Structure 1
């Protein structure tokens, strides 16, 4: 009897030990490992650096684009890319070319970090569902699925940082002759909240959401699909035996992706900027130098903005600033993608977006 009791006790202890081991393994599976956390942080850092570097490189063109988007067609100050940059230089100096860039970087660094990381996570989730649906564990993302992952990433990143974009737009259109000056990002935020309310920080959000789907979606989809095609076909010796694309080739892929995305989404960007100016009592004088155009700044929503812009200024007004934006977007998107991958290599992150 004693021996049977001992065996029963040993069996009970063994079961408890086994249960403890199973619980430990379960907790390890649920909790992210320290390696995974570090990898996530490195990925976010890489995305943030990519955004900051790419936007600072094209800051003068970014400011000119916004000024062209919101200026009234009856009082032209900024006429074309080269002449517009010269006018800013002549009237505001070197600092004028980079006005709003600090706020832009404060927005774009977290935006870019969230966007790249969200794309990677969305890609993994969509790929898993696609493999489960098709029953093929070796299935890869199609261009359409990449478009969906990019759209998800764009919506998440844009929504998280939209108030910063709103403030950046207001600061960017200021000139030295503006009757009222936002002294900086914090002052602009507090002033808008006090005078216009919290909802003002999300003016233009809807066209932004609609526009970010083709813009960011096409950026990622075209970039990744073009890289995949080059690796498979190896045209003109652009890919070496290790199937690695060179920096110049990746820059070219990013340039093509950026051009396609911004051309499709640009009218929504113009509408967004104009909606962001609504409610700002000094917007008319900042844009035109007097109060004559204030009525044209009164928009009740996205459709009304489209309708009034086309009615009073013509369909071409939806593409105001497209040329400097094209000049800006091509290097900006290209630099962002390549910087992201290079920084991840430097930080030792094993998985890149192309993997």
Structure 2
């Protein structure tokens, strides 16, 4: 290897370094550059696409089921508030109506989202310069959201119609929706769902990742579970408030059924504002912010813990193999 020229106080001096010294110097130079926020992936370990995909599926599914089970009653109240017209009374019975069927959709949807998000994020962070890491997070979350939407939307349609008392069980809901409205009935409000969830996923994960990164760099250490939970709660609550109007539109379109009340997204907005006033677009904002804030805390806390446990399990065989070689 040729000589390495170093500039010191404006003067040049030549140093001939051995290969080992050059490697060490490069490691020192590049080793100080911290990768942007990652979920449970060791900073110095080589990127394993399939392992990251699998870990994301497991961690995402676990986090999604825990959050949905814990916060389902709040989600039910939010849906009933948004569905009500005028000053309709909100019933508090059957707050867990549709939970079992919803979990059957939440598990694969959450697993799909995180499973797609994690490896996509890692790939994009390598492609984009460091000052565009937020774009990488936004893009990865949007891609994960599109993949998960194929599971989320039918699940959401069935869940919300059960929450508002239209059906007694998930199988009945699926059968009757399909017979009355056709297969497309299970994807009612799909465009409005994407309109709400793609910005939501992108904003929430971007805020979370960037705050987590900034905190990590300031503290010069990895974050613990309570810190991840607090950041997750803040990012969830803020994103939930911003996207409430989109959630109201999505809820109305999903609940209209075969009696078409709205011709589309724009007609839905115009009708709500004309008949109920602009404030109707913020219906359910209290329960939504509470639900997503607490949900963000639980989701990201469980996600990080699960990813860390999986990473520790992966490292044990490697440590065992290293001891054997020694």
Scaled by the length of structure 2, the TM-score of the pair is: 0.76
Partner-residue secondary structure (3-state), 2:243 = helix
Conserved in 1, the CA contact under 8 Å of 2:211 and 2:231? yes
The counterpart of 1:44, out of the listed 39, 46, 57, is: 57
Deviation at 1:37, TM superposition (A): 4.9
Q: Residue 18 of structure 1 corresponds to which residue in structure 2?
A: none
Q: Residue 297 of structure 2 corresponds to which residue in structure 1?
A: 334
Q: How far apart are the structure 1 equivalents of 2:114 and 2:131?
A: 19
Conserved in 1, the CA contact under 8 Å of 2:241 and 2:288? no
Partner-residue secondary structure (3-state), 1:155 = helix
Q: How far apart are the structure 2 equivalents of 1:233 and 1:127?
A: 20
Gaps of 5+ in 1: 1-34, 79-86, 132-138, 175-180, 235-240, 282-296
Q: How far apart are the structure 2 equivalents of 1:60 and 1:280?
A: 27
Conserved in 1, the CA contact under 8 Å of 2:61 and 2:107? yes
Deviation at 1:140, TM superposition (A): 6.9
User: Is structure 2 residue 148 aligned with structure 1 residue 157?
Assistant: yes
Conserved in 2, the CA contact under 8 Å of 1:115 and 1:156? yes
Conserved in 1, the CA contact under 8 Å of 2:61 and 2:111? yes
Q: Residue 76 of structure 1 corresponds to which residue in structure 2?
A: 88
Q: How far apart are the structure 1 equivalents of 2:150 and 2:281?
A: 23
Partner-residue secondary structure (3-state), 1:142 = helix
Deviation at 1:346, TM superposition (A): 2.3
Q: How far apart are the structure 2 equivalents of 1:254 and 1:231?
A: 14
Partner-residue secondary structure (3-state), 2:128 = helix
Conserved in 2, the CA contact under 8 Å of 1:167 and 1:189? yes
Query: Which structure has the greater CA radius of gyration?
Result: 1
Q: Residue 190 of structure 1 corresponds to which residue in structure 2?
A: 175
Q: Residue 250 of structure 1 corresponds to which residue in structure 2?
A: 228
Deviation at 1:36, TM superposition (A): 6.3
Deviation at 1:275, TM superposition (A): 0.8
Conserved in 2, the CA contact under 8 Å of 1:127 and 1:140? no
User: Is structure 2 residue 301 aligned with structure 1 residue 303?
Assistant: no
Conserved in 2, the CA contact under 8 Å of 1:255 and 1:333? yes
Cα distance per residue 1:45-88 (max 9 Å; x no partner): 21101001011111110000000011111x5102xxxxxxxx51
Scaled by the length of structure 1, the TM-score of the pair is: 0.70
Q: How many corresponding residue pairs?
A: 267
Q: How far apart are the structure 2 equivalents of 1:66 and 1:312?
A: 19
Deviation at 1:115, TM superposition (A): 1.1
Distance change >3 Å, CA 65–CA 232, structure 1 → 2: same
Partner-residue secondary structure (3-state), 1:182 = coil
Q: Residue 287 of structure 2 corresponds to which residue in structure 1?
A: 324
Q: How far apart are the structure 2 equivalents of 1:44 and 1:103?
A: 20
Conserved in 2, the CA contact under 8 Å of 1:63 and 1:100? no
User: Is structure 2 residue 161 aligned with structure 1 residue 170?
Assistant: yes
Deviation at 1:189, TM superposition (A): 0.7
Partner-residue secondary structure (3-state), 1:279 = coil
Deviation at 1:155, TM superposition (A): 2.1
Query: RMSD of aligned C-alpha atoms?
Result: 2.1
Distance change >3 Å, CA 42–CA 233, structure 1 → 2: closer
Partner-residue secondary structure (3-state), 1:163 = helix
The counterpart of 2:106, out of the listed 103, 108, 111, is: 108
Conserved in 1, the CA contact under 8 Å of 2:53 and 2:118? no
Q: Residue 121 of structure 1 corresponds to which residue in structure 2?
A: 119
Q: Residue 201 of structure 2 corresponds to which residue in structure 1?
A: 216
Conserved in 1, the CA contact under 8 Å of 2:196 and 2:250? no
Conserved in 1, the CA contact under 8 Å of 2:83 and 2:251? yes
Q: How far apart are the structure 1 equivalents of 2:171 and 2:123?
A: 37
Q: Which stretches of structure 1, 4 residues or more, deviate above 6 A after TM superposition?
A: none
Conserved in 1, the CA contact under 8 Å of 2:52 and 2:115? no
Q: How far apart are the structure 1 equivalents of 2:60 and 2:77?
A: 25
Cα distance per residue 1:317-353 (max 9 Å; x no partner): 11111101111111101111110111122233689xx
Q: How far apart are the structure 1 equivalents of 2:167 and 2:275?
A: 29
